[in-house]
Amino acid sequence: MFSKNTHRVILWLLYLNCFLLTTASAQYFDFTGNKKKTAIPFRLVRNMVIIQLKINNKGPFNFVMDTGVGIMIITDPGLIDSLQIPVHRMLKLRGFGEDEAYDAYASPELAITVSCLRSFAVDAAILKKDHFGLSSYAGMPIHGLLGYEFFNNLAVKVNFSDSTITVYNAKDKHKFAKGEKIPITIEAHKPYMEANVYLPDGNIKKSKLVVDLGAGHPLSLENIDEHSGIQKKCIHANLGVGFSGPINGFLSRISQIEFGKYKIKNVISSFPQDDSLKNYINVKRDGNLGIGLLKKFIVVFDYPDNAIYLKPGPNFKEPFEQDMSGLEYYADGDDFKRIIISRVEPGSAGDQIGLEKNDEILAINLKPIAKMSLEEVDSIFKSWNDRSLLLEIYHDNRHDLVIMKLKRRI
């Protein structure tokens, strides 16, 4: 079963080694008629930007917007039947991890519409089996991921404060080119930027990072020297499940990251420890910058001009906090109203009171889980150090009331 951290790693892995079904540069979206601008509402669910779209005049379907994928991915194989998609060719999708590659079908060209935008020559990889359970992670149906094709021909502004994506004709630069301009390169259909990473030992590492709207973490770093001081205060963690199995590593904090005129301090970062990672990277890089950091800004992606624009949002100065419960959990049931624990971090607050895998959380501070969203639960477990919570737990066929005291671990 996936972990609470699955999303940030799954979406981080999807871009690593997907086969392109056609010439990706020919796959794009554009306006219908004489439109030059459109606003698309989105839901930010557990650090996933989710929009609704139609495929072959059917839907709507929920898709995650992800600049870290080089091809459209349909994660719900049920869409093959509901959309009557003819599939013939099989693909192997592989990232890094401990297991073998997963099978996916190559779709024919699909007709995709989002607001007044339509697709041109866009096809997809359709997973033969949904190995990741993004729907259970999000607590709502998720059907796939939309990446490079949506961004490569347009300017796309993501405003996290009002949950709106505004899409412009990239030629109308005066309408969207506001904020700090950060140069990017588009390599293997993903955007890269350079940043200075300040490590605990005082060293500054110039880093090439994927700008990854689909990765839930603030920052993930590779190629870090073991003497950098990172591991002096860290959490050894299951970072999630990728195309090729479980990903192990740890979480810690860097002193600062600097890009453009912005200097952001004390950033929680992920550090994967998996040698197989090196086998599946086709662009040399040092990690990726995810939505946990991007959501501090209003962000404009301008692939045609090799730039992004950043303007601080309302929560720019909020500190980074990690889960303080040590629990990883997912939504279950037909209506996603049950929360089941999938893993308990050793030595954490949850471990200290005896919580175990497969325990069900029924209520927090007397409020039933059925009346809460997964984001509310996440927020409570990140709230503040030493906070005491009353949990109702279903364990070994009985109901227990336990008090858990949150513990900041990094």
Which domains does the chain carry? 6-169 (2.40.70.10), 175-312 (2.40.70.10), 327-405 (2.30.42.10)
Element (H, E) at 150: helix 148-151
Written as six digits, the tokens of 247 are: 């990903």
Q: Contacts from 155-159 at CB under 8 Å and sequence distance 24+?
A: 155/300, 155/301, 155/302, 155/304, 156/300, 156/301, 157/298, 157/299, 157/300, 157/301, 158/42, 158/49, 158/65, 158/213, 158/294, 158/298, 158/299, 158/300, 158/301, 159/298, 159/313
DSSP-based three-state secondary structure for 154? strand
CA distance 268 to 152: 30
CA distance 148 to 399: 48
Tell me the CA distances in angstroms from 28 to 20, 22, 87, 112, 146, one per residue in order.
Answer: 14, 12, 21, 10, 11
Element (H, E) at 173: none
Per-residue pLDDT tens listing for the chain (410 residues):
444 444 444 443 443 344 444 444 589 999 998 888 999 999 999 999 999 999 999 999 999 999 988 889 999 999 999 999 998 788 877 654 445 567 889 999 999 999 999 999 999 999 998 877 899 999 999 999 999 999 999 999 999 999 999 999 988 888 888 899 999 999 999 999 999 999 988 899 999 999 999 989 999 998 887 667 787 778 877 666 554 455 778 899 999 999 999 999 999 999 887 655 555 567 889 999 999 999 999 999 999 999 999 999 999 999 999 999 999 999 999 899 999 999 999 999 999 999 999 999 999 999 999 999 999 999 999 999 999 999 999 999 999 999 999 999 88
* Residue 368 CB neighbour total at 10 angstroms: 11
pTM of the model: 0.90
Written as six digits, the tokens of 305 are: 């001009």
* Beta carbons of 119 and 49 less than 8 angstroms apart: no
Amino acid at 250: F
Written as six digits, the tokens of 389 are: 């919570």
